[in-house]
Chain A
Amino acid sequence: MNAMSEWETVIGLEVHVQLATKSKLFSGASTLFGSAPNTQACNIDMGMPGVLPVLNEEVLKMAVKFGLAINASINSPTQFSRKNYFYPDLPKGYQISQLDNPIVEAGFLEIIVKEGKKKIGITRAHLEEDAGKSLHEDFKHLTGIDLNRAGTPLLEVVSEPDLNSAEEAVAYLKRIHSIIRYLEISDGNMAEGSMRCDVNVSVRKKGNKELGTRTETKNVNSFKFVERAIQYEIKRQVSVLEAGENVVQETRLYDSQSNETRPMRSKEFANDYRYFPEPDLLPVLIDDEFINSLKDQMPELSESKTKRFVKDYQLTEYDANVLTVDLNFANFFEEVAAKSKNPKLAANWVMGELSAFLNQENLTIQETKVDSKKLGNLLNRIEDSTISGKIAKEVFEEMWNTGSSPEKIIETKGLKQVTDSVEIREIINQALDQNPTQLEQYKDGKDKLFGFFVGQVMKISKGKANPEQVNKILKEKLEE
């Protein structure tokens, strides 16, 4: 690993974001995922002779919103081009994409790294249509073509080579993911391919100004795989260079099974795409009125939400960051906080107990088994001393498993906290009576045993005694 420290890594990412429109980029066909093959491809998607594309205006809005979110400039006019290559799942033999004047250009976003914040440049984000899918496994000696995905709108987000480690790359990806989710322009589901990533990696000797030869690893489809693919490529390239050889500029594939990248067949990428302006679509003018109307619709993004959480709820920046990574998660927290009137407690529970249960069952916040209203009610029972925090965890588990309300569980299980001082006094007496030896020792100056007595009291009360009162009365009792 010592050798590694002489090297510096330079990474740029190309992220393909599938935009969540109802219909396709240039046709009225539905974009729904998972339908029977070729049932969601109309004549336009199939590239029938004579068909023409018509731009889906919803897509423009989404792309402009993304541009606004990353502080970019919006090009007007923006222009579509044809990218020519032959592939069976590319019905027209060209993909309608953007080359010159992409809709979004020159933006940036900030990621949080060990040293603080780091600005990552975004060169451009352009619109293009997705291709269909080739199905090689389902047919013997034949390839099946499913064109359902053909024509689905994609926003390709190209970063500057500003990332220097796998961790930074993942942090950047997560920021992109957060932005598209906050803007509700994509579901960002990497497993279903709604967000895919091409990773450009090169290494160079520290202090070198010139970039090393890069490789492009295509279609990596999870945060974890992006991290691993980059780590693999860094190691591979460093060992190639240290052996005195040259890195070959090539397109590679990441194999998650073997956790390695390997070169694609040269044929699969040796293309001159012969871009030229798409004559079937006129350049699109995007006027200020259009942009301003979208500015008004921009939601609060995670960065400003974090700031607001710190200010309004007195949360730490760390907690606020955790809560705002996901929009639904942040919304859930705010609902609980509103219900419970104790934001700090709400934050602890959402990030602690709730997250632990979600993670254990691999659920998203939308799939939670305890809704924000019930969780708020539970926290209120802690606040009004009906139950202790410890008992609350027991109640929460029951709520999670049964879907029952906290009130009902407290009632039927008799978990209501004992706050009657007479009753507590009795339990304390019982605890002192049962442990004469320890009482003797305490009186001889062994102060540490105070905790022991608190434990005994809680044990006798089955955890229901109000801890504050126990502390207070026990102290009085022992000092008598």
Chain B
Amino acid sequence: MISLKDVTKIYYPSKIMALDHINLDVAKGEFIVIVGRSGAGKTTLIKAINKEIEPTSGEIIFEGASLASINMTELNCFRRRIGTIFQDYRLIHTKNVFENVAYAMEVVGASDADIDRDVPSVLNMVGLKEKTHSFPQELSGGEKQRVAIARALIHRPDLILADEPTANLDVYSIQDVLESFLKINEMGTTIILATHNQNVVNYLKTRVITIENGAIVRDQQKGKFIL
């Protein structure tokens, strides 16, 4: 589904090499966990796949097409097929919880009836039914995280990019969220999840890619978190 070919990212002017000649193939329906210390390059990798940043060199190919050569319209369509959970939540502060989650459905052209049916159901799933009309500034870190998760899942994307999705959740919520990911993955959705939480990796028991200093140092099928 996604191939990274010799992808390098250097941040200027500090010349920090965040990604160092990454080569990675992700098959459709696969669940990949990317692990590594803080600053290892996990977030940069997620951002590069979402085309939020451009690689300095190398190529990212999504279903046969290079992301480097797509135009703005194609980029919008590409992103509509992805559900991204950002490390810093990235909620729209001028919209309430319902509207934030509904926005992901609106951009894919879902009908009002579908939105009115699906959004409450997903908010119920992430335990935010009571916060439907709250604004992001009225939520705790964990609640914001769950809104971000709901927004990423709501439109049943083909690919989920999750950057530290459990960072601000309590133990029970983490288990619920991971179970949701596993269920969605079973239905055929590809998931790339970045974390430095050992328990998450061990719970999921999926393919684990370890990154150090921007380079892949280990690729284990159904591996465990080793640092």
- Do A and B truly interact? no
